Structure 1
Amino acid sequence: QFHAKPRGPLPNSSLSDDDDSDSSPDSLEAKTQRIAEKYGSTFASSQEPTDPSTESRSSSQAQGRKSSEWRQQPIVISDKEGKARYKVKPEEARFPLCIVWTPLPMLTQLIPVIGHTGIGDSRGVLHDFAGPYTVTVDDLAFGETHKYVRLLNLEKEGVTPEQFDRAVKEADSNYRKRMHNIFCDNCHSHVARVLNNLNYRGKSNYTMIDVWWMCLASSRYVNFSHIVLTYVLYILLAAILLFTTLPKLF
């Protein structure tokens, strides 16, 4: 009878890349690497797929840090970046770092130097003392802005956007607890409070008269049509009064 001769173990050198007898982690990793080198493929043996929500959170956090850093830097209006960041945009009702003025119905038509004021925060959102215990935000009472005063001295004083907005919020909080009085505690007083909080131009005793004078002497109209809208009724009324009284005088 024929007896098969027992076969001994194969030597290690005879193992091929396709042999799966050794399943240890080190061996599997080595095989993966050899196959990748041979076929030019890229393998990610241990990397998990990226979660889109994680990427979104990371992006939001980065933007938040960038915004926070910007708000803590001193205000600069004169350079290119500052001009773009603090640009006045009347069509969007955005007047950053500005005192704004709009006519009061009927009263401004009789006395054009009298109107309603508010102030724009670092992002241009308008805040104004609109009535008893009422401060409106992003909704200027009595209509759109006709003219504005740029607070240019903020750059020289090293005020940060965060400090400016804090001064506005403090004034808002204070005037939400106040009764409105058109003669002595009004929208001009609210703006004066913001300037005092900032110690603007080294002063902390601004009054409604100071704000009124700034709007009269240092303001800029949004466009020509707003000049016409401000004065047209006053001019018409003055002309009618003039032509009706002159014949009686002579």
Structure 2
Amino acid sequence: MRTWTALGLAVGLSLTASAAPGRAADVRPLPLPLAGRTIVLDPGHNPGNAAHPAEIGALVDVGNARKPCNTTGTATARGYTEAAFTLDLARRVRALLVAQGARVVLTHDGDRPWGPCVTERAAIGNAARADAVVALHGDGAAPDGYGFHVILPAVVVAGSADTRPIVAPSRRLGLAVRADFAAATGEPYATYLGGGTGLMVRADLGGLNLSTVPAVFIECGNMHNRADAARMSAAGWREAAAHGLALGIAAYLASKSSLPTPEP
């Protein structure tokens, strides 16, 4: 498994030789590697959604369709909810990214009674002018399926949605997240969709359709599968997952920095 140090992301010190012999060298902290970067983490659903069916059931415009504002999400057979899982995971990822200098915005932090709607979630990433948006989820597929997958935006041009500018960078983000999440957790690509690639392209998700910045979803495992549910319920696994996600995001940002500047 790669680590922050392996990616060159450890905090370091710059030693500057003193001009006067015998004097101590200046010790200056190097800039934090993710300084100046903004990442938006979108913890799927909300623990309070179930108590607000009318609010989350209201239809909103996702560009090419009208869909419910939000849903309750899924849960394991033992009652560990997707909303609790995603919020815990988001907080772990945030701590890792902030330690490397990033500005991290959560679409909610357990501070709202329900929601926000998928439209507002997308708007938060857009308003932050995020370098990357990652929506965190747990799937609720048939119990015999297992594994994780990353969801990428399709080309959608409808109503207020136009994903054409973000399709290519979102794919690069998704590939980076997929690689480091798999390495950190040992979780295989989903066996029940995506053709065994760990990738899906979808045109029905408001969080992707309405985004103007690179964005992906990750379904971290199938909460209806006994083995996946056990892993996702364990704090140690969630910490490993958080490292994988943070590493993937950082790797994407590093590759983005190395891309040539487009001609004006």
> Which structure is higher in RCO with an 8 Å CA cutoff and minimum separation 6?
2
Provide the TM-score with structure 1 as the length reference. 0.23
Larger % of helix: which? 1
Larger radius of gyration: 1
Provide the TM-score with structure 2 as the length reference. 0.22
